[in-house]
Amino acid sequence: MDFFNEIFGYLTDSKGLGFPMLICGGLLIILWLMKKTSKSWQKVDIKIERKKEDRNSFNTPYKLL
């Protein structure tokens, strides 16, 4: 339990190196999550485009006026 208190104290000390490391670590996690979600959105967009292309490829006759 003392180990966790030392780590917590190190990371929250605003005058030491731990606090900037904590901020950078949080930003890296946020950037990683943004990259992950953008990849999944790209996959969904590609899937939607394929469905649109499949619907447009049907040869449906149009009524001529």
Model pLDDT, residue 62: 65
Which residues lie closer than 8 Å to 19 by C-beta, 6 or more apart? 11, 12, 13
Structural domain including 38 reads 2-51
Q: Which two tokens stand for residue 40?
A: 């999944």
Low-confidence ranges of the chain (pLDDT < 70): 56-65
Q: Does 19 reside within a domain?
A: yes
pLDDT (0 to 100) of residue 41: 85
pLDDT of residue 45: 86
- On whether residue 65 sits in a domain, the answer given is no
Q: In the chain, how many domains are there?
A: 1
User: Would you say residue 57 lies in a domain?
Assistant: no
| Single pTM value for the model | 0.58
CB atoms < 10 A from the CB of 54, how many? 9
Q: Is residue 62 part of a domain?
A: no
In a domain, 13, yes or no: yes
Q: Does residue 61 lie in a domain region?
A: no
Tell me, yes or no, whether 46 lies in a domain: yes
